[in-house]
Amino acid sequence: EAQVTQNPRYLITVTGKKLTVTCSQNMNHEYMSWYRQDPGLGLRQIYYSMNVEVTDKGDVPEGYKVSRKEKRNFPLILESPSPNQTSLYFCASSSQGGLGNQPQHFGDGTRLSIL
Amino acid sequence: SQELEQSPQSLIVQEGKNLTINCTSSKTLYGLYWYKQKYGEGLIFLMMLQKGGEEKSHEKITAKLDEKKQQSSLHITASQPSHAGIYLCGAEPIKAAGNKLTFGGGTRVLVKP
């Protein structure tokens, strides 16, 4: 089954403790992206990757890191999480970098709470 | 930057009635996507529109993109409880923008039985 898989689905942690949210897709998609969703602010893009070893900042990259060493994986790293990073996070992927040709497929989300 | 306004923000509809959601952009859109999200869950792709005047339908859901490619509407005919959720429009402002999707604020739909 074609899917985007995020782990963990839920995480409660404390300020400053490094964490990684993994994202994996089995569709051989070139493009992957991370979003966060907050009440009143909607979905905002954090980082995206057009292909392996190619990443770029989205609208709200501060406090986050990403890497794209393999095509299927695109982990989101919070080196020193802070309470303002409490949010619902989504990973997405699409073929050919999108460009209006292919829709992005989203994972089920990761709910992070930073205390 | 791309601004997408969705209206209404929320609506309650009686089962069997029709409903329409609008998505308006401040700039010409290259691609317009409609997604549905159940509360706290992932986004499910519904439809993609690219051409001015384009209209697509799937089951009881119809989406249209106006000729100027600045406004889209999503219409649900004879709504059912399964149509409840949050509907989001997403758009690419220009071609080759790194697939940087911008999303509207969402429309929360509740269907009363």
What is the per-residue pLDDT for B63?
97
Which chain A residue has the Cα nearest residue B102? A44
What is the per-residue pLDDT for A95?
83
Q: Whose CA is closest to B88, among B56, B54, B53, B41?
A: B41
Kindly tell me the burial class for residue A73, based on how many C-beta atoms sit within 10 Å of its own C-beta (0-12, 13-18, 19 or more).
Answer: middle
Identify from B99, B101, B102, B108 which residue to disrupt to test chain A contact, counting A C-beta atoms within 10 A and taking the largest count.
B99
CB of B104 within 8 Å of a chain A CB? The answer is yes
Among partner residues A42, A97, A107, which is closest to B98 by beta-carbon distance? A97
What is the per-residue pLDDT for B67?
84
Nearest CA distance, B99 vs chain A (angstrom): 5
CB of B95 within 8 Å of a chain A CB? The answer is yes
CB of A33 within 8 Å of a chain B CB? The answer is yes
What is the per-residue pLDDT for B102?
84
Nearest CA distance, A99 vs chain B (angstrom): 6
pLDDT in tens, A17-68: 999 999 999 999 999 999 999 988 888 999 999 889 999 998 899 999 999 9
Instruction: Indicate the pairing of strand A76-78 with strand A10-13.
Output: unpaired
Which chain A residue has the Cα nearest residue B86? A42
When the pLDDT of each residue in chain B is averaged and rounded to a whole number, the result is: 89
| Under 8 Å between Cβ of B107 and B90 | no
Residue B96 has pLDDT above 60, yes or no: no
Q: Span A84-111, mean pLDDT?
A: 84
Residues of A in contact with B40 (CB under 8 A): 88, 109, 111
What is the per-residue pLDDT for B2?
55
Q: Which of A73-77, A99-103, B20-24 has the lowest mean pLDDT?
A: A99-103
Kindly tell me the burial class for residue B54, based on how many C-beta atoms sit within 10 Å of its own C-beta (0-12, 13-18, 19 or more).
Answer: middle
What is the per-residue pLDDT for A101?
62
| Under 8 Å between Cβ of A61 and A48 | no
Q: Do A45 and B100 touch (CB under 8 A)?
A: yes
Q: Do A43 and B88 touch (CB under 8 A)?
A: yes
CB of A99 within 8 Å of a chain B CB? The answer is yes
Distance CA A68, CA B103 (A): 24
Residue B26 has pLDDT above 90, yes or no: no
Hunting for tokens 């089951």 — which residue is that?
B59
Residue A83 has pLDDT above 90, yes or no: yes
Hunting for tokens 């989101």 — which residue is that?
A76
What is the per-residue pLDDT for A99?
52
Distance CA A2, CA A16 (A): 35
Among partner residues A48, A92, A109, which is closest to B41 by beta-carbon distance? A109
